[in-house]
Each structure stands twice: as structure tokens, then as C-alpha cells.
């Protein structure tokens, strides 16, 4: 599987059973960051070594960004990679199951807040919108939950996740 982008990165999609059913963990990035400032994303980042395991990258970054210990995650699969149009990342998403009730610890230099969004709320908040990126209108999936706006590569990953999981009853 491939996607556009010249820099490999990986994210972890931590899933757990929340009060409203299956729930995913997201981060809201700090507004003062150079790249993807203020955006909602999954914990993740760039691959340190070109030949290293991207699954390890996703687990390492989740540990650094939200305090999720790698041994507390059962990686159950991966989704197709997606590219970021402006920054040129090729993002490889890994899905991991975690126990509910984790005590998240946001990395202060990168994460403004940790968000737990139920998959049902994401489905209810789905829209297909045209957003302007560098003056070019791009139609993409978006998800809005309690004022949190998920778009771009993260929204495309959510779309792949929801398609893979099928109907939530």
C-alpha cells in the first residue's frame, strides 16, 4: 500500500469501550506549532530511522504524546496510508485496543488536549465539505463532535476506520 508523500510517519488509533460505545483517542495539537497547529489528530509522528518499524513509531509517539505505554496496546491491524497535501507526510495508521479508564498525560510541548470521541458521535458529525487549502477547494470528509473539527488526513483515516469496522449497532 502506498500514498503520496516523501516523509514516512505513523499514527496509533487507540480504541476502547467508552460510555457511548467504541471510542477513539485523539489529540488536539497546540496552536503555536509550526506544522498542523491546532489540528485534531491521532498520536503519532515521523519515523526516526528509515528502516525502523512504523508500528514501533506509532507506539513510541503515543507513549510520548499521551502517556500510553506500548505494552498497554494490542495492535490489531493497520489501515491504508494517507498523504498530507501541504506538508508531504505519508502517514501509516495502526489500530490498537486499549483498556478503558486510562489516565492520559498530554505532552505539554505538543498536545493542547487529549480527546476521547465515540465512533457513534463521529458518524453523527460526518459531513462531506469543500475546504480551501492554499486557495484550492478540496472536497473531503469532516467530522464535528462537541465543537471539535476533524478534517484532512485524520478525517480520511477515520473514514477508512469506519468503513473497515462496518455498521455500529
Domain boundaries, the chain: 7-118
CA–CA separation, 74 and 83 (whole Å): 25
How many CA atoms, within 13 angstroms, populate the side-chain half-sphere of residue 155? 20
What pLDDT is stored for residue 143 in this prediction?
96
Mean pLDDT across 67-77: 97
What are the tens digits of pLDDT across the range 7-54? Answer: 889 999 999 999 999 999 999 988 787 776 778 999 999 887 765 789
**Higher-pLDDT residue of 166, 78:** 78
**Higher-pLDDT residue of 35, 97:** 97
Sign, CA torsion 74/107/17/153: negative
pLDDT at 169 over 60: no
What pLDDT is stored for residue 158 in this prediction?
97
User: CB of 125 within 8 A of CB of 143?
Assistant: yes
pLDDT at 5 over 60: no
Mean pLDDT across 88-107: 93
**In the CATH scheme, what is the code of domain 7-118?**
3.90.79.10
Give me the numbers of helices (H) and strands (E) for the chain, helices first please. 3, 11
CA–CA separation, 63 and 60 (whole Å): 5
Mean pLDDT across 79-93: 86
Mean pLDDT across 51-77: 94
Amino acid at each position: 500500500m502506498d500514498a503520496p508523500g516523501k516523509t514516512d510517519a505513523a499514527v496509533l488509533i487507540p480504541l476502547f469501550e467508552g460510555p457511548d460505545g467504541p471510542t477513539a483517542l485523539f489529540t488536539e495539537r497546540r496552536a503555536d506549532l509550526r506544522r498542523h497547529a491546532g489540528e485534531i489528530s491521532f498520536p503519532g509522528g515521523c519515523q526516526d530511522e528509515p528502516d525502523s518499524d512504523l508500528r514501533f513509531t506509532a507506539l513510541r509517539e503515543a507513549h510520548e504524546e499521551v502517556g500510553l505505554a506500548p505494552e498497554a496496546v494490542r495492535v490489531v491491524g493497520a489501515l491504508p496510508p494517507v498523504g498530507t497535501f501541504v506538508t508531504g507526510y505519508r502517514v501509516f495508521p495502526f489500530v490498537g485496543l486499549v483498556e478503558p479508564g486510562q489516565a492520559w498525560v498530554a505532552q505539554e510541548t505538543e498536545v493542547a488536549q487529549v480527546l476521547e470521541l465515540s465512533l457513534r458521535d463521529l458518524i453523527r458529525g460526518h459531513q462531506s465539505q469543500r475546504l480551501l487549502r492554499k486557495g484550492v477547494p478540496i472536497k473531503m470528509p469532516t467530522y464535528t463532535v462537541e465543537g471539535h473539527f476533524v478534517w484532512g488526513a485524520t478525517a480520511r483515516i477515520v473514514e477508512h476506520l469506519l468503513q473497515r469496522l462496518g455498521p455500529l449497532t
